[in-house]
Amino acid sequence: MDDRKAHLAQAVKSYRKKVAWSLDRAARETGVSKAMLGQIERQESSPTIDTLWKIATGFSVSLSSLLEPAPDRVTTTEIKTLDDLRRDPANEGMSTALIFPYEPRFGFEYFELILRPGYQRISQSHEVGVVEHIVVTQGKLEILLDGNWQPLDAGKAIRFAADRKHGYRNPTSREVVFQLVIHYPSKEARLEPEEV
Ligand code: MN
């Protein structure tokens, strides 16, 4: 946990330095309060996913880059165990596993999400050009798009532009499991370091 807080603090500080934003400016650009940004940089806060998304969108970086360090070596063949990767950020009623973090050469990050019964999250617009791909593998998910909740049973998949308001919910009494691939627009305007 402290590793994750330390990484996040370091990431936010370094992104802020790169673009030379004061805390005031960063608060304006991300929509996260100056007080909260300060707490994050001092490792005093475990922010919610919504807050992390605001930071990622404000700085035009991937969500992955706030969750863990970039891989220190470039490999293509990788075996992961989902059970080792599942986290329950801020006890929000949702488990997230960052299976394949964002890498500039691939342009996407790959998550597994598990929504507890009754969980609902409304997501604000991500960075322009971000597209989400979802495959439901267990239960019945509902996705909010254009003001309508679209039901998606296990075995269904959807792709949508995520640079607009959208939402996820589990209206049932059983867990919902889905795979989420988030694709980011091309690198040029983005802050993250190019791969070595
Ligand atoms: Mn989203």
pLDDT digit string (tens) for 26-62? 999 999 999 999 999 999 998 999 999 999 999 999 9
Phi, psi of 142 (to 5 degrees): -125, 135
Instruction: Report DSSP state, residue 118.
Output: T
Q: How many CB atoms lie within 10 A of CB 147?
A: 7
CA of 166 to the centre of ligand 1 (A): 7
**Residue-averaged pLDDT of the chain:** 92
165: CA distance to ligand 1 center in Å?
Answer: 8
Ligand 1 centre to CA of 142 (Å) is 13
Q: How far apart are CA 139 and CA 92, in angstroms?
A: 19
Check whether 121 has a pLDDT greater than 60: yes
102 has pLDDT over 50 = yes
Distance (angstroms) between ligand 1 centre and the Cα of 46 equals 19
Give the DSSP H or E segment for 134: strand 131-138
* Band (196; pLDDT cuts 50, 70, 90): very low
* Segments of the chain assigned E as strands: 86-87, 94-100, 108-115, 120-123, 131-138, 140-145, 148-153, 157-161, 166-169, 176-183
By the CB criterion, residues less than 5 angstroms from ion ligand 1 are 123, 162
CA of 126 to the centre of ligand 1 (A): 7
The model carries a pTM of 0.90
